């Protein structure tokens, strides 16, 4: 369970989130809102990439302010642009990076890397230069690098924005198959039509928090009135 208690956030000299209190328990949660609404900063609060200016964020009881390392092990984060997340020149090296940091034994590390790359049809590319992959393959590699760490929660920031239709559908299928609680920031309303919960942000506050139908109607209505 992820809990936010009267959270406000100021970032780069401006106030971006105001008095947010939420408990996140559903398996599929979407975060939507116009550009500048605060949704990406909200997502970064969930694993301690941002710390609240006021209030508290807890993940399974762990405060992001005092237990950041433990929180980041629980909450994996997939960035919008996989080039910002892929750090090693070869596919297999990139996926193994986090496991090496956690001192996973080499044999177990190799097993986990092969398992996750096979799952995402990337095993044949294990010795391929990471940054020469296609856009969809890069996004899958970024997801694999997070999931190989076996987090309890996965947060994704605009995972389909940079992709063509074919690769967008691949990522949608990958998200649908995740066993973890998954929180997705997106403008792609088709992606989240069957999610359990949609939270709509507007100017740093929550405009709607409901199942997809009612929440998205509020969102579309607000965009038309803007």
pLDDT in tens, 89-144: 999 999 999 999 889 999 999 999 999 999 999 999 999 999 899 988 999 999 99
The Cα 159–Cα 146 span in angstroms is 13
Distance CA 171, CA 176 (A): 9
User: Which pLDDT belongs to residue 225?
Assistant: 66
SS3 190: coil
- Dihedral angle of Cα 184, 188, 190, 195, to the nearest 10 degrees: 20
Beta-strand relationship, 54-59 and 28-33? unpaired
3-state SS, residue 43: helix
pLDDT score of 226 more than 70: no
Per-residue pLDDT band for 171 (boundaries 50, 70, 90) equals confident
Predicted local distance difference test score (pLDDT) of residue 223: 76
Of 157, 202, 185, which Cα lies nearest the Cα of 31? Answer: 185
Q: How far apart are CA 117 and CA 95, in angstroms?
A: 8
Domain count, the chain: 1
- Predicted TM-score of the model (pTM): 0.92
Instruction: Tell me what the pLDDT averaged over the chain comes to.
Output: 93
Domain interval for residue 82: 2-225
CATH of the domain at 192: 3.40.50.300
């Amino acid at each position: 369970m992820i809990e936010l208690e009267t959270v406000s956030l100021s970032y780069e000299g401006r106030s971006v989130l105001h008095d947010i209190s939420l408990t996140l328990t559903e398996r599929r949660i979407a975060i939507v809102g116009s550009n500048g609404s605060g949704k990406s900063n909200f997502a970064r609060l969930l694993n301690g990439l941002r710390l609240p200016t006021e209030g508290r964020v807890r993940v399974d009881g762990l405060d992001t302010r005092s237990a950041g390392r433990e929180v980041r092990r629980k909450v994996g984060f997939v960035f919008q642009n996989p080039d910002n997340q892929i750090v090693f020149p070869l596919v297999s090296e990139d996926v193994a990076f986090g496991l090496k940091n956690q001192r996973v034994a080499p044999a177990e590390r190799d097993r986990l890397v092969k398992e996750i790359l096979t799952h995402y049809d990337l095993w044949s590319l294990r010795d391929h230069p990471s940054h020469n992959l296609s856009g969809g393959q890069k996004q899958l590699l970024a997801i694999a690098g997070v999931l190989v760490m076996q987090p309890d929660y996965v947060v994704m920031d605009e995972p389909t924005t940079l992709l063509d239709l074919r690769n967008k559908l691949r990522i949608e299928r990958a998200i649908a198959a995740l066993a973890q609680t998954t929180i997705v920031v997106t403008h792609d309303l088709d992606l989240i039509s069957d999610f359990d919960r949609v939270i709509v942000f507007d100017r740093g506050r929550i405009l709607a928090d409901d199942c997809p139908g009612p929440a998205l109607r509020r969102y579309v209505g607000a965009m038309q009135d803007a």
